[in-house]
Amino acid sequence: MKTGLAFLIFLSFGLTSTAQKKGMDWPKIYAEHLFKITEVMVTDVASPPVAARIYAYSTLASYLAIQHSGQVFSNSDFLPFTPIQTAGFEPASSGIGSFEFPAIYAMLLVGEKVMPSGYLLKKAQADWISWSLKNKVITKKDQAIHLSFAQKIADFVLSYALKDGYIQLTALPRYTPKEGEGYWYPTPPAYMAPVEPQWKTMKTFFIKNLEEFDPKPMAPFDLTKGSSFQVQLEEVYTVTQNLTEEQKLIANFWDCNPFKVEFSGHMAIGVKKISPGGHWIGITGIAAQKAQLSFAETAYIHALVGMTIHDAFVSCWKAKYDTNRIRPETAINQKVDQSWRPLLQTPPFPEYTSGHSVISTASAVVLTAYFGDNFSFLDTSEVYFGLPERPFTSFLQASQEAAISRLYGGIHYRDAIEYGVEQGDRIARFILRQTQLEK
């Protein structure tokens, strides 16, 4: 972990909170409470871009609660990490003895309001208050001021979220599949409508000009023998018919498709899974625990990854609906083999670029800048969903595996994967320059 930069020194020293000195496993506590938000997202079947938005605002609230807690930190050279304009937002008055309590409580308050089933977090909020009182994170005497401060932070973040374009999405023009060969069309088995076709209108945290992060041009639709598209289509068809057990495991491990539907007779059954963003938020928590970060460091890196994922999804979704590219399943069924099915169920949106390639790379580059190269970890993010744990020697190794898993799964072409990796890398390095993690 690079701790030579001023803002990281801020997070490493001068933490005078009583709770911080108790030796509590704050990275684990933070991750467990953030996962309560993940569970509600899974219940709501939040789409990948929507899930990223929820993570971004929830973790941002947690970080801002620390930044504005009124705590005195030892390093006067601290450069505030301010992805949104907080001028005029007054820090807490004296009396905030624990920034950990309002940070988690504000995170749960924001999660409650930005999800349809957010009311399910009421119990988590009550449990957090009870646990904090029992473990003397706060006292009964100062409970009210901590709750009031957390609510103030949550209200600020929610007022910001109201202006990001999300509530306007339903009023924008409806999507109609383009006519002609080579364009996306709903895929089996559920033939679902396209997910968030206007997501490119969403406000980003760091990116100012989306066009600057458009991917390289994709191969044009051309079935002539030897054309770039035909070669890539043939690759998907051939590779998926000769998968090793390890390749199948990789594809399923990184599936992260919250829209998977299975049929039993005439009954459609939704299979609940996390999104790609949820998987990388899970990895962030695993890394924070392994590195034994302080609470403030844990909140910081989660907020940074959360907002990176959000911006990356906006950029990727712009590319998807700018290109409206046909999925391998549709093209192969129409032109090669009507009976072919991919290993993974095709998600309901256009193909180019590969979302997991963009999001995984962006997350891995940010995490590498923070924790360093060759940070090995055991990825247990999917154990809750019935998949085995998986070891990685670095974040970049994990992101590369996530990217190629889309070819093994039969849901992406090679250029969508490779150019998606490049797209994610450019987004992450731009964000790192904004936060001074990369010069």
pLDDT at 31 over 90: yes
Contacts from 429-435 at CB under 8 Å and sequence distance 24+?
429/365, 430/206, 430/207, 430/213, 431/206, 431/207, 431/304, 431/307, 431/308, 431/311, 431/362, 431/366, 432/365, 432/366, 432/369, 434/83, 434/206, 435/7, 435/81, 435/304
Work out the pLDDT band at 257, boundaries 50, 70, 90. confident
Work out the pLDDT band at 140, boundaries 50, 70, 90. very high
Angle between helices 276-290 and 26-44 (to 10 degrees): 170
If we measure between CA atoms, which residue out of 162, 164, 157, 163 comes closest to residue 67? 157
Percent of the chain with pLDDT over 70: 86
Work out the pLDDT band at 380, boundaries 50, 70, 90. very high
Which of the pair, 405 or 91, is modelled with greater confidence? 405
417: its two tokens: 């994967």
Work out the pLDDT band at 91, boundaries 50, 70, 90. low
Q: What's the pTM value of the predicted model, to 2 decimals?
A: 0.92
Longest CA–CA separation in the chain, Å: 76
pLDDT, one tens digit per residue, over 45-54 is 999 999 999 9
Indicate the residue type of 403.
Answer: A
pLDDT, one tens digit per residue, over 195-221 is 999 999 999 999 999 999 999 999 999
If we measure between CA atoms, which residue out of 129, 144, 160, 139 comes closest to residue 61? 160
Which of the pair, 97 or 390, is modelled with greater confidence? 390
How confident is the model at residue 74, as a pLDDT?
Answer: 44
Angle at 309 between CA 168 and CA 291, to 5 degrees: 145
Q: Please provide the average confidence, as pLDDT, over all residues in the chain.
A: 89
Q: What contacts 407, CB < 8 A, 6 or more positions away?
A: 235, 236, 239, 413, 414, 417
Strands 377-379 and 390-392: antiparallel
pLDDT mean over 71-97: 58
Which of 68-72, 129-133, 217-221, 310-314 is the least confident region? 68-72
How confident is the model at residue 373, as a pLDDT?
Answer: 95
How confident is the model at residue 381, as a pLDDT?
Answer: 93
If we measure between CA atoms, which residue out of 427, 271, 286, 308 comes closest to residue 55? 308
pLDDT mean over 8-26: 51
For 223-435, CATH number? Answer: 1.10.606.20
pLDDT mean over 32-58: 96
Contact by Cβ (8 Å): 318, 52:
no
pLDDT at 267 over 60: no
pLDDT mean over 139-162: 94
pLDDT, one tens digit per residue, over 352-375 is 999 999 999 999 999 999 999 999
pLDDT at 95 over 80: no
If we measure between CA atoms, which residue out of 56, 92, 79, 20 comes closest to residue 295? 20
- The radius of gyration of the chain from alpha carbons, rounded to an integer in Å, stands at 22
How confident is the model at residue 81, as a pLDDT?
Answer: 60
Indicate the Cα dihedral angle 213, 308, 322, 233, nearest 10°. 90
Work out the pLDDT band at 7, boundaries 50, 70, 90. very low
Q: What contacts 56, CB < 8 A, 6 or more positions away?
A: 205, 303, 306, 307, 309, 310
Which of the pair, 226 or 68, is modelled with greater confidence? 226
How confident is the model at residue 8, as a pLDDT?
Answer: 35
Work out the pLDDT band at 90, boundaries 50, 70, 90. low
Q: What contacts 393, CB < 8 A, 6 or more positions away?
A: 374, 376
pLDDT mean over 133-146: 95
* Domain locations in the chain as residue ranges: 23-77+84-161, 223-435
